[in-house]
Amino acid sequence: MIVYFLRHASAGQSKPNPVQDAKRPLDKEGIEQCGYVGRALAAMDVQVDAIISSPLKRATQTATLVANEIGHDSTLVISPALQPTAKFEAFRDLLNKHAKQDAIMVVGHNPNLSQFLSLLLSGGATDRAADLKKGAVARVEWDSRTASVLNWCLTPKAIRAIYDTAAKSSRPKTSRK
């Protein structure tokens, strides 16, 4: 199964009150990041069977905005296995629950989303093999019986740089012979 790891986009400063922090929305930059990431995924023809999000507002907003960009029209799945306090065992159970699907996207928070990605990539050896920046997306081939493989990881900053470079290019496109 393909698993797309998407860390929620920029949402400003965290709030000291956990109840208020759970309701913290994306900021202007975060909404822009979702657009860049979603359009890049759409350009790569990314299709998923399910998008599963943390219940926190900034994660559900990220999931919804990216889902719109890639044309995903199924209902967003909310899972406590992706909230900031979730443990790897709950995340692994979530993957096993969706294992028959071809591709899913999980939307969550750091530090645990990066830790979950690291544990999958390292076969459980370390939880520090990867660090997802805000709005970053990683594509992983996951199989519960073998080691996972990272295919690629993109940050909104890298995607924006690619867009800007392509837009500035005055060189006409020609076919190669």
Residue 172: pLDDT band with limits 50, 70, 90: low
Instruction: Give per-residue pLDDT as tens, 68-109.
Output: 999 999 999 999 999 999 999 999 999 999 999 999 999 999
Q: In one letter, which amino acid is 133?
A: K
Question: Taking Cα atoms as reference points, which of 110, 123, 112 lies closest to residue 150?
Answer: 123
121-133: pLDDT as tens digits: 999 999 999 999 9
Cα distance between residue 14 and residue 18, in whole Å: 9
**pLDDT computed for residue 38 by the predictor:** 97
Average of per-residue pLDDT across 153-166: 90
pLDDT tens for 14-73 read 998 888 989 999 999 999 999 999 999 999 999 999 999 999 999 999 999 999 999 999
174: confidence class by pLDDT, cuts 50, 70, 90:
low
* pTM of the entire predicted model: 0.93
Q: What is the pLDDT of residue 163?
A: 82
Long-range CB pairs of 146-151, under 8 A, 24+ apart, other chains included: 147/121, 147/123, 148/3, 148/120, 148/121, 148/123, 149/121, 150/117, 150/121
